[in-house]
């Protein structure tokens, strides 16, 4: 009876368009208790202590899977730091379906910038140059590319469901108004339309410090995760009742 009930619940949720992923809690579980990633954010914060707590302020898993450009002229990506053995071969970019556009390659270093633009026809430009890749609209995910032939390093995506190891390799943090400085640029405000994307590049999760590739991307916004329908909310209520009944039996 329990098995058939669970299968029925899963099927109903799928048909209703309700994603359990949207209810997931923030990632947590960082290597060294998040100390290394926190040090990166504190290191670019004028005054030394970031308002962002890496263990509590990351965007919930699933909500950071897909993004869109919010600025009318495009989005600027600035490489903050890359503390990784694969730094010389890592590639970072955006994807839409099977289409990928590289933003940074292994030659990039801290402070490097790229302008990303998506035209009305879907054409993707980087630094005003047409990449020859067309996206199906202004919606995309981020990826951290692989070192060919290295079994411990594969391409990982902001959409965790696409990662072959099932690990969330990217965590995202929204600006809270701190003044930050990424050399060689002058200090500026880390606004709410700017996000730090922090990556773990080793397959299987590695040391989970999420400092292997850290980039600031401005004028973007995470795409909304669909709200549960009234039918799925009703079903969740019934699930609670059923669970209560089972406890009494």
DSSP string covering 32-44: GGGHHHHHHHHHH
Reduced to 3 states (helix: H, G, I; strand: E, B; else coil), residue 242 is helix
Which is nearest to 173 in space by CA: 71, 19, 44, 46? 44
Q: How many CB atoms lie within 10 A of CB 80?
A: 20
Which is nearest to 116 in space by CA: 73, 175, 79? 73
pTM: 0.79
Radius of gyration of the CA atoms of the chain, in A: 20
Give the pLDDT of residue 238: 46
Give the pLDDT of residue 138: 94
Give the pLDDT of residue 203: 87
140 is written with which tokens? 């995309």
- Give residue for tokens 């990556």: 199
Give the pLDDT of residue 224: 64
Residues (pLDDT < 70) of the chain are: 1-32, 147-153, 224-249
Distance (Å, whole) CA 189 – CA 47: 13
CA angle (62 as vertex; 72, 97 as ends), nearest 5: 60
Produce one character per residue of 203-236: b if its CB has 16 or more CB atoms within 10 Å, e if not.
beebebbbbbbbbbbbbbebbebeebeeebeebe
Q: Is 176 exposed, middle or buried (0-12, 13-18, 19+ CB in 10 A)?
A: middle
């Amino acid at each position: 009876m329990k098995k058939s009930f669970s299968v029925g619940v899963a099927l109903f949720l799928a048909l209703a368009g309700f994603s359990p992923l949207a209810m997931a809690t923030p990632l947590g579980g960082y290597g060294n208790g998040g100390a290394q990633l926190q040090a990166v954010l504190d290191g670019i914060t004028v005054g030394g202590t970031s308002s962002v707590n890496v263990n509590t302020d990351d965007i919930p898993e699933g909500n950071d899977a897909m993004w869109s450009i919010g600025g009318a002229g495009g989005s600027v990506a600035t490489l903050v730091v890359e503390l990784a053995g694969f730094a010389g071969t890592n590639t970072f970019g955006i994807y839409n379906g099977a289409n990928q556009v590289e933003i940074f390659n292994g030659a990039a270093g801290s402070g490097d910038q790229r302008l990303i633009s998506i035209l009305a026809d879907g054409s993707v430009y980087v630094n005003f140059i047409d990449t020859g890749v067309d996206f199906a609209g202004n919606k995309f995910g981020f990826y951290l590319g692989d070192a060919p032939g290295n079994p411990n390093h594969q391409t990982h995506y902001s959409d965790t469901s696409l990662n072959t190891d099932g690990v969330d390799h990217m965590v995202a943090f929204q600006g809270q108004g701190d003044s930050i400085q990424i050399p060689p640029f002058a200090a500026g405000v880390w606004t709410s339309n700017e996000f730090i994307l922090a990556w773990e590049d080793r397959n299987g999760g590695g040391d989970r410090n999420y400092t292997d590739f850290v980039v600031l991307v401005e004028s973007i916004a995470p795409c909304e995760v669909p709200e549960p329908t009234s039918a799925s909310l009703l079903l969740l209520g019934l699930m609670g009742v059923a669970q209560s009944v089972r406890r009494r039996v």
